Amino acid sequence: MPDLPTTTRTDLDAGVGMSSENIFSRLEGQLEQEQGEQAPLTMSDILDLPAEQGDLMRQVLRAQKPLTPPEISQALGWEQNATDRVIGDLSLAGMIELTDGCIKVCPMQRNTRTTPGGMWSILNDL
């Protein structure tokens, strides 16, 4: 008697006949497909920006409060249409967003730092 598969595609979609290892492998595959090949942005990506985009990002990052596009134009000495173009480029790159008329930096991936433990962890308690 030939071996017949006991699960169908609909069974797999419903999670029937799958071990926990297979479920996590399948979820990982779906997440990788959704993320695509592009890695998340980091703060170091700002260093690689073209001059105009880097200037605008530095202005936004150094501001004490969220700035509006006209305030950025005035601070950088640019015409409004040039500022709007750079804001659009950075927004499409996922670095900034325009919320309630103000420019805000989008959350970026950060590398966390940990203390090496041992004597150093004791110093944190002081």
Element (H, E) at 99: strand 96-99
Q: Which amino acid is at 115?
A: T
Contact criterion met (CB below 8 Å) for 105 and 63: no
Pick 43-105's CATH classification: 1.10.274.10, 1.20.120.450, 1.10.3470.10, 1.10.10.10. 1.10.10.10
Q: pTM for the full model? A: 0.56
Give the Cα separation of 24 and 126 in Å (integer): 43
Which range of 44-48, 69-73, 90-94, 118-122 scores highest in mean pLDDT? It is 69-73
Q: Per residue in 88-114, pLDDT tens?
A: 999 988 889 999 999 998 876 555 555
Q: Which amino acid is at 36?
A: G
Residues of the chain with CATH 1.10.10.10: 43-105
Measured in Å, how far apart are the chain's first and last C-alpha atoms? Answer: 73
- Crossing angle of helices 80-92/51-62, nearest 10°? 90
